[in-house]
Amino acid sequence: MKRFITVFLASIILMQMTIGVIGGERVVKENEDIELPSAFTSTVPNGDDAKKLPVEIKAKSAVLMDVSTGKVLMEFNPDTKLFPASVTKIMTILLVAEAVSSKKITLADKVACSLNAASKGGSQIWLEEGEVMTVDELLRATVIGSANDAATLLGEYISGSEEAFISLMNARAKELGMNNTHFVNATGLDDTTDDHLTTAHDIAIMSCELLKHEFITEYTTVWMDSLRNGETELVNTNKLVRFYEGTTGLKTGTTAKAGCCVSASAKRDNLHLVAVVMGSGNSSDRFETAKAMLSWGFSNYTSYTPKIDKSLINNVTVIGGRSNEVKVNIPELSPILIKKGEEENIKVNVELCTDVEAPVSENQTLGTVKVTVSDKTVSEYKLTSASAVEKLNIFDAMLKILNFVANGKTEYPFNTSNA
């Protein structure tokens, strides 16, 4: 009898968590502990390849990518097409972030809920038709609570309809080089589709693109929040936000078809990494795999910003020009990803011409800067002229001669260049 009562009470608690009602409050939380069907397996035919990796991969597919350079540091079945579940929402959030950054919309904009958005199932904030929320509130609901109704409404607000937004999602994916991705909705719900598919590599690409919008981490790093004056509680299903040092996001996803997925990003010092895990058999496996990949990356790599010795770059002599020399634009060097301990093997080589014949156009290439690691070129930049220099004609030459005779100077007396 006691065992029956225990099982009964446990069932009641589980039902409350599933429908999102705890202590009278609606808690928006993606059902990350969904019981996967017995047919679901996180193993793959070439799973032995995972044993060759430096960490244990408990998933169908995984990728570790450097956010700054897009370089892949570790991969396992990176191009296998799989259901992404709510990790789909990274693209939805990216398009919202781009609309905000371009000032097409603002976070303060008020949006009235459509019947279509209100009808979405799964994780939700129970929007009612006609209910008004700000873009900020809808974004919090989408990012933190993985709310399907909020995500759909944001898409409708940006594009005018859900169908138009889906087209925008696929077009943006193509622009980013996500060649193995096809979206059929803004949410990741897959119970009625067999072709809402993407890959770990493609998810890593859009994750890196999203992280270019730094304001988005004000949402992706939040553990708990609320809406409707505290009546609706938001709980982030990305446990790494709370338990893994440097976590910056991004998104979990779980369905019976997809298994347990996560795109997990973290930053330590200047190194920003994203670990994508798809098709884990349970929630714990996805987080343990993501943590192992990230920790391995932070232990073995670092982000290093090389510097140019500016004393090596002098003004370039201009032959036959109205000005005798031209200044050189010195580029800012981007960070490079290197293995720890390789700092001493980094060289910055400057090649700059000593003179150039007029005319010189603005931003004309005058030399190069090459960054090498162990004698291998990893990046290259142009050294260009800071201004234009016109060619000297006979009249100009006579003026220069007169200026030299009168003032002892060889410059063109009416030089209009910015050299």
Catalogue the active-site residues: 86, 89, 146
331-335 CB contacts, 8 Å cutoff, 24+ apart: 331/369, 331/381, 331/382, 331/383, 333/305, 333/306, 333/307, 333/308, 333/369, 333/371, 333/379, 333/381, 334/68, 334/305, 334/379, 335/68, 335/69, 335/270, 335/303, 335/304, 335/305
What are the residue ranges of helices labelled H in 147-233? 148-159, 162-175, 200-210, 217-220
Helix (H) or strand (E) holding 352: strand 346-352
Q: How far is CA 67 from CA 48, 61, 322, 375, in A?
A: 28, 19, 46, 24
Question: Using alpha carbons only, what angle is made at residue 123 by residues 121 and 124, rounded to the nearest 5 degrees?
Answer: 80
Q: Tokens at residue 289, please? A: 């795999």
**How many CB atoms neighbour CB 240 within 10 A?**
24
**For the chain, first and last CA: distance in Å?**
93
d(CA 209, CA 70): 10
75 phi and psi, to 5 degrees?
Answer: -155, 150
23 class by beta-carbon count within 10 Å (0-12 exposed, 13-18 middle, 19+ buried): exposed
Residue 226: partners with Cβ closer than 8 Å, 6 or more residues away: 232, 233, 234
- Residue pair 259/277 in contact (Cβ under 8 Å)? The answer is no
Q: Across 166-324, where does the E strand assignment appear? A: 224-227, 232-235, 247-255, 259-268, 271-280, 301-304, 316-319
d(CA 142, CA 159): 17
Nearest to 265 by CA among 317, 209, 307, 184: 209
Q: Widest CA span of the chain, in angstroms? A: 116
**How many CB atoms neighbour CB 52 within 10 A?**
7
